Amino acid sequence: MTSYATFIWPNLANSHFFVSDVVTESGIREFTASDGYQLRYRFYPARETPPRGYVVALHGIQSHAGWYEYSSQRLADAGYEVSFLDRRGSGLNEQDRGHASHVDRLVNDVIQFLGEVQFHRERDAPTVPVILSAVSWGGKLAAVTCARRPELVDALALLTPGICARILPNWHQRWRLQLAGILGIERKLVSIPLNDPTLFTDEPDWQEFIRNDRLLLRQATVGLLQASIQLDDEVAMVPQRIGCPALLVLAGKDRIINNDKSRQWFERLQSPQRQIIEYPDARHTLEFEPNRQQIIDDLIEWYATIPARSI
């Protein structure tokens, strides 16, 4: 199947498509997607020049880049340049809150940003790897993006990814979403069935943080939920098309992710360099774990194993 992304931007890796890449405030930047949407992201410059790697990170269905400031800064201190994207309609992106028109629009946003990173890498540090990192729901978006445009990604890091979730729409819910699309009500808002902070963490302070987070996405449109189902269908078919170094990080007490099925999916990847790390006592959001320092140390150690890109 020819993807929409390939049809629209066949030579993206060698092109410079962004209308703007401006700093709006400390650590927050903007770029313009191909449809004119202004997307904001959090930027963490590397403490080394050139950087040891370029990290492009994706968040979950409800979270946003602001949840991951600790890990992003740790990576920057370790020499990696980090761009943590807020998905359109999420986090700092208020326009069309909770909405996406279709799955290809979401994938194209990531492809476009990776194309920009590729442009800078080829100009400034051509052998430095580009790492696509994702947590929770963002994992299936990252996997599909990597499969569609493997030339833009040198390594894939999946942290408690939503590729094989425990909470999935049943056939009746899928039928209702399909019907809503036929009736043209893609922007109807639906509650996301994860509005319980205990699903993410056992830590009371972080549970309170989630409850009071004004940027948390509590509702999604029919359009976004349809795109999510389309990602589910595609991600099941892509393991044979992912051949870059890959990491899977699991939380032993995760109530959102099916760890056994996630391992099975991961073992089907074509990459000869695969690693699985599991923290037996951890909950879903590793950023909120008491031992997060060790978790990020392990992540940085794995990043150091990614080979330089050949030119």
Question: Residue ranges of the domains in the chain?
Answer: 4-303
Number of C-beta neighbours around residue 240 at 10 A: 10
Instruction: Give CB contacts under 8 A, 24+ apart, made by 41-44.
Output: 41/65, 41/83, 41/84, 41/85, 41/86, 41/113, 42/66, 42/69, 42/72, 42/82, 42/83, 42/84, 42/86, 43/82, 43/83, 43/84, 44/72, 44/73, 44/75, 44/76, 44/81, 44/82, 44/83, 44/84
Across the range 143-154, mean pLDDT stands at: 98
Rounded distance between C-alpha atoms, residue 119 and residue 18, angstroms: 11
Per-residue pLDDT tens digits for 265-299: 999 999 999 999 999 999 999 999 999 999 999 99
Asked if 287 and 71 count as a contact pair (C-beta separation under 8 A), the reply is yes
Question: How do residues 152-187 score in pLDDT, each as one tens digit?
Answer: 999 999 999 999 988 665 544 554 566 566 556 778
Is residue 114 predicted with pLDDT exceeding 70? yes
The pLDDT, as a whole number, for residue 108 is 98
Smallest CA-to-CA distance from 99 within 110, 82, 87 is with 87
Q: What is the pTM of this model?
A: 0.89
* Contact between residue 23 and residue 103 where contact means Cβ atoms under 8 Å apart: no
User: Using one digit for the tens of pLDDT, what is the confidence trace for 21-53?
Assistant: 443 445 999 999 999 999 999 999 999 899 999
Q: What CATH number does domain 4-303 carry, 3.40.50.620, 2.40.37.10, 3.30.1490.20, 3.40.50.1820?
A: 3.40.50.1820
Can you tell me the distance from the alpha carbon of 51 to that of 159, in angstroms, rounded to the nearest whole number? 22
